[in-house]
Structures are given as C-alpha cells and as structure tokens.
C-alpha cells in the first residue's frame, strides 16, 4: 500500500547551522520542482519574529547559489511559520500543535544536537503529536551500541519503525544511489561479484582540510564515529548486499542489515588510528587529545559470497585530496599467458566508483598496444559521468521522507548491527599515530594493506578518465 504524504514539516533547530547551510537551500529547490507545498513550522529557542526567519532563509539561499526564481522564494516564505520555545517545555509542543492547524500527518525533523533527540521525541509523544506522524532523525544515531539501543528504544515507544527516518545525507548522493542501480541493473557483474573473482575492496573518503571550528564536536566523535561507522559502512553494504526481493525499501534495508550482521567484529590490530599534526592546537581540542582524525581498517564479511575477501576502509582529515572513491580489485587471470598481463608486472583489473568531487564509474582493463609483440597497457573504460539536473542529497531525502519512502534511510536493526562491529575498538584501541598534513595518513595504514598491493589513492579530477 502506498504511504500517505506528510501534510506538514516541523523543523526543530530552524535557527541552527544545519538549517542555514543545507536545509533551507533544499526546501527552496523542492519548491522550485513543485515537490514542497505543505506548511513548514520552524521551532527553536530564540524569540525570533517571522520576518527575521524570512531574512535568515533568504540569506541562506543567496549564499548557497543565489535566488534564481523569485516566485519560488516567495512561495517558500509563505509556507513558513515559527514557534519559539524550550524543547523541555510542554507549552512549546502545545504551540506546535496550534501552528499545525488542520495538519494531521506531520513530519518532525530533528535538525538538533543528538543530546536533545530523546527529549524532543518524548515531548512529541506526550503532546499527542506522533499519531500518523513521522520523525526524521539526523545522524549520529548514538555514540556506541548501548546508546544506539537506548535511542531506538525511546523512538520506538513513540513512533512505529516505519515512521522513523534516520537521515544520513551521504545516502542521498546520486553517485551512492548509482552503486545500487549499477549492481542490480546489469547482468554482466553478478558472475564475478564474489570471493572467486574479487581480490579486495577499498573504500576511501578523504578531506584535504582539518576540523576547523568543529574541534569541540570532533573531540566527542572522532573519525570512526563521524564517518566510518555510518558513511563508509553504508557504501560497503550497497556493494556487498545480496539482491533484494524487490525495490521496496523494506527489502533493501533487510539485505543491508544482513551485511552488517555478517561483518566480523573489529579487533585492535584491524584498526589504525591517526591524528594530523597540529590537531591538538585547534580550537576546542584537548592538549593531550588521543582522538583520531584518520582511520584505516581491514574488515571481513563472513558470508558465502565474501568469505576471505578483505575490505579496506580509510578516511581522514588533512589528507592529500578531497575525494570519495571505491576500488574493487579483481584477481589476476588463472594462467599467465602474456608476460606483462599479470601481477607483479601489471596492476590488477578493477572497477572504480567515484563518488566525489565528481562522480563516475569506470572499469580498468588491459588492451594490446600496436605492434607484433603481445604487450599491452591498462586503460579505464568510463561507464558513467556526472549528469545535469541531479537533486542535492537533502532535497532528495527530505522529499522521500515526506512521501514515506524509506529506501535511502537506515533501520533500527542496521544501526545496531553496524555499531556492534566497532563497539569493541571504540573502547580498546591503539594510540593515534601522528601524520603530516596533506599526506595519506600514518605509515601504519600502509602496513595494514601491504599484502594486497597497497592503497589506490583517489585520482585527481583533472587527470581522471
């Protein structure tokens, strides 16, 4: 049965940075496309006037790319209402109910610090604002397995699971969605997509900048919590999952959860933690901090398809490039018929999924060079590049949440299974190793993958293809 569309959006944290940087531009884009026509009730503590909120929204849209459709801006501003109040005050929720008017199926978006999630969810339940409603929760979903379980428990006491949308903007990227499509829309891939033909898989998410003004936040999170356990694990799930029974979001989420449950829990020696030079001098960072700004890990998925195949994940700040890329390295031909076509003299064939800064899918294969000798070289065959008209991640995800489509969101069982993989090393791990800024991290990260030929560093945009 098709889900009903939400008839209002309640945006908690409307005066915050996330709303200003990401959400307002997404709402503006949705209005331009004709996908947002319901009231938007902003909720926050400051005693703002509606005129001040309008000014904030307009400034956000101008900053993100400019106002290119005055009618759309006018329509967005006309949808806005504002409720000022403390999240632990029942009167705030009474005011929200009044602002909703005749709306009976609101979507409550918690664009607020994670420490406030439980308070707001309980407040919605106590005010009878959860019936026929949805709740959209920003990551992170807990700090470890125990806190994730508690947050899920609280959410489930107020909302049914199908009405809880755990939002991770990474899953809204077009290139991430294309991984799912590419895997299951093409027949040539399935015969080789297993332990018999895949030697290893690498996933890199690198940034060439530091924590900036987010030092205090990073001290509470670190790279493993902030990026690896959610963003990179989600990519792994899309690459490793079995074919879902259909495109129904429940079937997709079920298969992703099976991947997390099949992941072997990490041990200390599976993980390399790093910290860039100068991190301890950043604003809000402890002078003796051991928080990691870099992670590299070796992961195994104990399933029939992937038994014995190592998955290498790394992410960090102040690395050499800003990029997100997946390399699926294939095993060499079974017979060395041509002297130059097998390791160690030749690199292995691979598939490359480029997520950012540009998106592409490419296959690396060897081709013969002109001449009498059977000598060749490896070339990349491009299958996909960026396309015009792509929806931004928040635009897509908010539209899906309002429509009740949970395919790109994360379910309770998957959240807890993912935390279970890293829970042990969150508490017991080696000390963070120092590394130079704009390098590829500490040398120990190279050692963890040395037996599989080393890391494939992301190809700079100007040289890719």
pLDDT in tens, 15-38: 999 999 999 999 999 999 999 999
The pTM (predicted TM-score) of the whole model is 0.91
Q: Are residues 245 and 325 in the same domain?
A: yes
CATH at 95:
3.40.50.720
Q: Are residues 130 and 183 in the same domain?
A: no
Cα 194 to Cα 308: distance, rounded to the nearest angstrom: 10
Q: Grade residue 173 by pLDDT with cuts at 50, 70 and 90.
A: confident
10 Å CB burial of residue 407 (0-12, 13-18, 19+) is middle
Q: Are residues 177 and 49 in the same domain?
A: no
Residue 159 lies in a domain: no
The answer to whether the peptide bond before residue 344 is cis (omega within 30 degrees of 0) is yes
Residue 165 lies in a domain: no
List, for residues 71-93, the tens digit of each pLDDT value. Answer: 999 999 999 999 999 999 999 99
Tell whether the model's pLDDT for residue 317 goes beyond 50: yes
- pLDDT in the model for residue 343: 67
Q: Are residues 116 and 184 in the same domain?
A: no
406 neighbors 162 (Cβ within 8 angstroms): yes
Q: Which of 91, 119, 138 is the last residue of a domain?
A: 138
Comparing CA positions, the residue from 309, 298, 138 lying closest to residue 228 is: 298
Cα 156 to Cα 150: distance, rounded to the nearest angstrom: 10
List, for residues 215-241, the tens digit of each pLDDT value. Answer: 998 999 999 999 999 899 999 999 999
Q: Grade residue 11 by pLDDT with cuts at 50, 70 and 90.
A: very high
- pLDDT in the model for residue 163: 95
List, for residues 236-280, the tens digit of each pLDDT value. Answer: 999 999 998 876 667 888 899 999 999 999 999 999 999 999 999
Q: Are residues 360 and 221 in the same domain?
A: yes
Q: Are residues 239 and 282 in the same domain?
A: yes
Q: Which of 81, 114, 138 is the last residue of a domain?
A: 138
Task: State mean pLDDT over 353-375.
Answer: 86
148 neighbors 140 (Cβ within 8 angstroms): no
Residue 11, classed as helix, strand or coil, is strand
404 neighbors 168 (Cβ within 8 angstroms): no
Q: Are residues 101 and 225 in the same domain?
A: no
Residue 157 lies in a domain: no
- pLDDT in the model for residue 194: 97
148 neighbors 416 (Cβ within 8 angstroms): yes
Q: Are residues 180 and 120 in the same domain?
A: no
Residue 169, classed as helix, strand or coil, is helix
Count structural domains, the chain.
2
10 Å CB burial of residue 357 (0-12, 13-18, 19+) is middle
Residue 117 lies in a domain: yes
Residue 3 lies in a domain: no
Cα 283 to Cα 276: distance, rounded to the nearest angstrom: 14
Q: Which domain holds residue 456?
A: 171-463
Q: Are residues 131 and 179 in the same domain?
A: no
Tell whether the model's pLDDT for residue 465 goes beyond 60: no
Comparing CA positions, the residue from 432, 434, 140 lying closest to residue 268 is: 432
CATH at 233:
3.30.360.10
Q: One of 108, 169, 231, 456 is an active-site residue; which one?
A: 231
Q: What is the dihedral of CA 317, 319, 324, 328, to 10 degrees?
A: -120
Cα 366 to Cα 236: distance, rounded to the nearest angstrom: 27
Q: Are residues 397 and 457 in the same domain?
A: yes
Q: Grade residue 312 by pLDDT with cuts at 50, 70 and 90.
A: very high
Q: Are residues 134 and 228 in the same domain?
A: no
List, for residues 433-452, the tens digit of each pLDDT value. Answer: 999 999 999 999 999 999 99
Residue 413 lies in a domain: yes
Q: Report which DSSP code applies to 132.
A: T
Alpha-helical runs (H) found in 244-392: 249-262
Average pLDDT of the chain is 92
Comparing CA positions, the residue from 388, 221, 237 lying closest to residue 306 is: 237
Residue 360, classed as helix, strand or coil, is strand
Q: Grade residue 342 by pLDDT with cuts at 50, 70 and 90.
A: low
The reply to whether 231 belongs to the active site is yes
List, for residues 367-425, the tens digit of each pLDDT value. Answer: 888 877 887 788 888 876 666 667 888 999 999 999 998 888 888 999 999 999 999 99
Q: Are residues 129 and 193 in the same domain?
A: no
- By residue count, the chain amounts to 465
Residue 405 lies in a domain: yes
Q: Which of 82, 116, 138 is the last residue of a domain?
A: 138
Tokens of 457: 């560093």
Residue 148 lies in a domain: no
Cα 168 to Cα 282: distance, rounded to the nearest angstrom: 27
Q: Report which DSSP code applies to 229.
A: I
């Amino acid at each position: 049965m098709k889900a009903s569309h939400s008839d209002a959006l309640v945006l908690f944290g409307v005066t915050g940075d996330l709303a200003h940087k990401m959400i307002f531009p997404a709402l503006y884009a949705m209005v331009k496309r004709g996908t947002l026509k319901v009231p938007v009730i902003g909720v926050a503590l400051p005693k703002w006037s509606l005129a001040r909120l309008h000014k904030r929204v307009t400034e956000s849209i101008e900053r993100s790319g400019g106002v290119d459709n005055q009618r759309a801006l006018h329509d967005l501003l006309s949808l806005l209402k504002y409720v000022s109040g403390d999240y632990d005050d029942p009167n705030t929720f009474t005011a929200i109910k009044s602002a909703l008017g005749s709306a009976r199926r609101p979507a409550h978006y918690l664009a607020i610090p994670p420490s406030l999630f439980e308070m707001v969810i309980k407040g919605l339940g106590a005010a009878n604002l959860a019936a026929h409603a949805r709740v959209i929760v920003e990551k992170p979903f807990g700090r470890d397995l125990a806190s994730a379980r508690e947050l899920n428990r609280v959410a489930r006491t107020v909302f049914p699971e199908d009405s809880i949308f755990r939002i991770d903007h990474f899953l809204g990227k077009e290139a991430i969605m294309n991984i799912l499509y590419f895997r299951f829309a093409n027949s040539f891939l399935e015969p080789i997509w297993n332990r018999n033909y895949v030697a290893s898989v690498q996933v890199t998410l690198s940034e060439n900048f530091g924590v900036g003004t987010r030092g205090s936040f990073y001290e509470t999170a670190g790279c493993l919590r902030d990026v690896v356990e959610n963003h990179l694990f989600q990519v792994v799930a899309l690459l490793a999952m079995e074919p879902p029974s259909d495109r129904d979001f429940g079937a997709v989420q079920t298969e992703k959860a099976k991947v997390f449950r099949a992941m072997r829990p990490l041990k200390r020696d599976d993980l390399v933690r790093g910290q860039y030079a100068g991190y301890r001098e950043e604003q809000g960072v402890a002078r003796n901090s051991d928080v990691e700004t870099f992670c590299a890990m070796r992961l195994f998925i104990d399933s029939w398809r992937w038994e014995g195949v190592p998955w290498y994940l790394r992410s960090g700040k102040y690395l050499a490039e800003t990029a997100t890329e997946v390399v699926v390295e294939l095993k060499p031909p079974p017979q060395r018929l041509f002297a130059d076509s097998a390791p160690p003299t030749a690199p292995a064939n691979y598939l490359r999924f480029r997520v950012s800064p540009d998106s592409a899918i490419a296959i690396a294969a060897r081709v013969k060079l002109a001449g009498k000798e059977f000598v060749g070289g490896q070339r990349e065959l491009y299958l996909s590049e960026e396309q015009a008209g792509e929806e931004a991640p928040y635009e897509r995800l908010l539209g899906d949440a309002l429509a009740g489509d949970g395919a790109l969101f994360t379910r309770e069982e998957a959240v807890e299974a993912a935390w279970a993989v890293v829970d042990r090393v969150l508490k017991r791990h080696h000390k963070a190793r120092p590394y130079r800024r704009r390098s590829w991290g500490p040398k120990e990260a190279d050692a963890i993958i040395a037996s599989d030929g080393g890391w494939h560093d992301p190809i700079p945009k100007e040289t890719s293809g």
